[in-house]
Amino acid sequence: MKNLCWIRRDLRLHDHNALSHSLKDGETVIVFIFDQHILDKLKNKSDKRLTFIYDSLAEIEKQLQKKGSSLIVRYGKPEDEIPKLCEELRIDKVFTNRDYEPYAKKRDELVAKKLKASGIEFETFKDSAFHEKHEILTGSGSLYKVFTPYKNKWLEKFEESGKVIPDYKCELKNLRKFSNPKNILETDWYKVMGFHPSPSVLKAGTNEALKRLEAFENHMNKYKEARDFPAIEGTSNLSTYIRFGNISVRDMIRSGVSKRSEGASTWVAEIIWRDFYHMILDTHPYVEKESFKREYDQIKWLGSDEDFKAWCEGRTGFPIVDAAMRCLNETGMMHNRLRMIVASFLCKILLVDWRKGERYFAEKLMDYDLAANNGGWQWSSSSGCDAQPYFRIFNPYTQSEKFDSEGLFIKQWVPELAKANAKEIHRPDVLLYPGYPLPIVSYEKNRQRCLEMYTVVKKS
């Protein structure tokens, strides 16, 4: 058999379900398509994520060359490029891992249809999620809509399996042998796609991901407490690597269950959240553009475009919010505690539609994942499944005092407040700090407006 393994959000050569099956089935060539449908929508032509993908592919290419093979990389529309390559390479079967986003599912259906017309098989595999949509069900056989019972069932099933974690071995000896083809890895690839190089703050690739995972294991036991403080290294910083599949979800679970501590259990629970949100998106695709709780689509958002712009630029006059947004804009990174703070602030203090914030994060986040991003925003806006109650509104001042008490993170990103003391920095007197803006809204007044805004919907 002559096989093609199409990699997408699984940029690695180990513990890879589709690649493992393809190599066992026959001679395999590995292909990556820079998807024109996706790239055409990117506003920023210096998007750091493209560099991360390129560097990840370059690492794979080096590994393949050592095996006498190579990676084929193309830029175009997958529904055109995959059938074209199959014809050129006389492929019998295409292997790929499943993607649960609405666009991706439609794309794969179209590719499968075209391949079938040419007599080529198209097989997909579970890989980016540990459990898919119908694998974790309630006692009555329905889908979970609340996370905690979902997590409990997930863990129960894991225990019943004997804590078996599959490891999909990839026998690279079965790769098709050929010299490096003329692909965009060997050209001025940015120009081919209309982008400009923009290195990220993260070194890409599997080697770096595994190093980070190993380093995190040394302080995983402290994760439950340390994860909330943005000024310290309390998290794994692996979200971008799992987003692009430099490591597998199974790599992460193996690491978590090998440690017996509250921190490790908390980290595994975060991985289960990821499965939960992918299940929600897969089974309720309307959440991409609408509220999971549809009644929340009736909210009349009162916030202004000016306030949204100030939020985007990190000049709201609320230091913890501004620091978080400036960090995002420069690095493409944002600590999870800060994501909750700025999302709650946008929806419930600035009274701006959560979808605007979600779209902005989609443009900026290195680790952007539709399921997790959408789930997080709907959680913050109280419009999603198992979301926080509408009357739970984060106080940006107390959040700042609690999770950045010395103002270390704020000072890093808001230099106007560099000389502020630990008490002053959370709610500064702007007369003492020229250049830093007054708060654009009153937290106290807008909190009350938010409650009234949501109450109207709850009563309707």
273 is catalytic: yes
Strand order in the sheet with 27-35: 71-76, 27-35, 2-7, 93-97, 121-125
301 is catalytic: yes
**CA within 13 Å, CB half, 119:** 4
The single residue of 135, 180, 288, 301 carrying the catalytic annotation is 301
CA end-to-end distance (rounded Å), the chain: 61
Which residues in 203-228 are b (16+ Cβ under 10 Å) and which e?
ebbbebbbebbeebeeebbebbeebb
Q: Which of 68, 53, 67 is nearest to 7 (CA)?
A: 53
Determine phi and psi for 386, rounding to 5 degrees.
Answer: 50, 40
Question: How do beta strands 27-35 and 71-76 pair?
Answer: parallel
180 is catalytic: no
Element spanning 360, H or E: helix 354-364
320, 404 Cβ separation under 8 angstroms: yes
The single residue of 121, 270, 288, 424 carrying the catalytic annotation is 270
154 is catalytic: no
The single residue of 154, 189, 311, 377 carrying the catalytic annotation is 377
What's the one-letter identity of residue 103? Y
Give the total residue count for the chain.
460
The single residue of 189, 273, 311, 413 carrying the catalytic annotation is 273
Positions marked active-site: 270, 273, 301, 336, 354, 377
